[in-house]
Chain A
Amino acid sequence: DQQVKQNSPSLSVQEGRISILNCDYTNSMFDYFLWYKKYPAEGPTFLISISSIKDKNEDGRFTVFLNKSAKHLSLHIVPSQPGDSAVYFCAASEWGNYGQNFVFGPGTRLSVLP
């Protein structure tokens, strides 16, 4: 069973509007969460992260919100731009024997329409 879920395989948003990508997790031991963006034919690139001691982290147009009680995090992109069209992976981690063990969700394909 997947520990990190992204229930929307795809999302379409108009340019200039807000994009909200959601991620749910089941393991309450996860304490560090990340979002990666992936363009076709390229590897994922790190976008933004949040520690479990915070409920919000902001970086320019990107904001990640964490609701620990609901085991839910979301990525907000405001305003959305056509260049944001990509697959977004949510990842969560907990401390293992050798450091953080990262678990990735299945991804959400975001399309920003001009």
Chain B
Amino acid sequence: DVKVTQSSRYLVKRTGEKVFLECVQDMDHENMFWYRQDPGLGLRLIYFSYDVKMKEKGDIPEGYSVSREKKERFSLILESASTNQTSMYLCASNANLDQPQHFGDGTRLSIL
């Protein structure tokens, strides 16, 4: 069974800090995704990656960057955290871009 693991379930950071959210998948999937989930807005795509060192912007990339140095790991970086980045962050992966995605359990990030 596919396992997508996010390193932290809960995280509290301060405004201006650089924040790293880590995600690892164990199924050798080509594609990995970062979403944020906010009430009334559903899941919105921040960035995705279709190969090592490759990345594409999603719908809301502003204030975020990503890193994919290894196939199994996809990191989301908040360069200078702001309070409007308080949210639930979900990582996902799939083998092909026309297949359903497998999600991690999420990281609830609070920026104070």
Cα distance A63–B104 when bound, in Å?
A: 25
Cα distance A112–B30 when bound, in Å?
A: 37
| A106 engages B50 (CB within 8 Å) | no
Cα distance A106–B35 when bound, in Å?
A: 13
Q: Total interface residues on A, using CB and 8 Å?
A: 26
Interface residue from B41, B50, B97, B104 paired with A43 (Cβ < 8 Å): B104
Asked if B45 lies at the interface with its beta carbon under 8 angstroms from chain A, I say yes
| B90 engages A43 (CB within 8 Å) | yes
> Which of under 10, 10 to 19, 20 to 34, or 35 or more describes the interface residues of B?
20 to 34
| A43 engages B106 (CB within 8 Å) | yes
Which chain B residue has the least Cβ–Cβ distance from A35?
Answer: B100
| B101 engages A102 (CB within 8 Å) | yes
Cα distance A95–B104 when bound, in Å?
A: 24
Complex A-B, nearest 4 residue pairs according to Cβ-Cβ distance, in ascending order = A99-B97, A43-B103, A46-B100, A104-B43
Name B's A-contacting residues (CB within 8 A).
4, 9, 31, 35, 39-45, 48, 50, 56, 90, 92, 96-98, 100-106
Name A's B-contacting residues (CB within 8 A).
2, 4, 6, 9, 32, 34, 36, 41-46, 49, 89, 91, 93, 98-102, 104-107
A-B contact pairs, 27 of them (CB 8 A): A2-B41, A2-B42, A36-B100, A36-B103, A41-B105, A41-B106, A43-B104, A43-B106, A44-B43, A44-B103, A46-B100, A46-B101, A89-B43, A93-B98, A98-B50, A98-B97, A99-B96, A99-B97, A99-B98, A100-B98, A102-B45, A102-B101, A104-B42, A104-B44, A105-B42, A106-B41, A106-B42
